[in-house]
Amino acid sequence: EADIYQTPRYLVIGTGKKITLECSQTMGHDKMYWYQQDPGMELHLIHYSYGVNSTEKGDLSSESTVSRIRTEHFPLTLESARPSHTSQYLCASSEYNGGRGRQAFFGQGTRLTVV
């Protein structure tokens, strides 16, 4: 059973507001990820981190930012939310599994709606 938690599950917020989506994992995984997904569509990697103080941009450009001050915590921030940011945001984590590479474990997601 994966132990990765995202809060809030649902968020409706007005344009221009600053928001932070929380993600925490209790598995001690080194690598963490943020994916953006429109309903029923593919997963787009927007940020990832190899460990504390490491953050990298993913394949899809995003106006969001991330930080990794603690191993277990990988919050995502939008400084000024816009309707185009409306989407589902999925957090994931993984650990290196020897010669088998990595398996990602996902949180339940945050469904963000910007009005």
Interface positions with another protein (CB under 8 A): 2, 6, 40-43, 50, 59, 90, 92, 94, 96, 99-109, 111
**Separation between Cα atoms, residue 42 and residue 73, nearest integer Å:** 25
Closest approach, Cβ 60 to another protein, in A, equals 12
Distance in Å, CB of 95 to another protein, minimum: 9
Give ∠ CA 66-101-50 in degrees, rounded to 5: 20
Nearer to another protein by Cβ, of 57 and 111: the residue is: 111
With CA atoms as reference, report the closest residue to 64 among 101, 104, 35, 102.
35
In the complex with another protein, the residue whose CB is nearer, 18 or 92, is 92
Q: Of 11 and 43, which CB lies nearer to another protein in the complex structure?
A: 43
Which helix (H) or strand (E) segment holds residue 41: the answer is none
* Rounded (10°) CA dihedral 12, 109, 80, 56: 180
Number of neighbours of residue 43 by Cβ within 10 angstroms: 17
Q: Which is nearer to another protein, 75 or 109 (CB)?
A: 109
Least distance to another protein, CB of residue 102, Å? 5
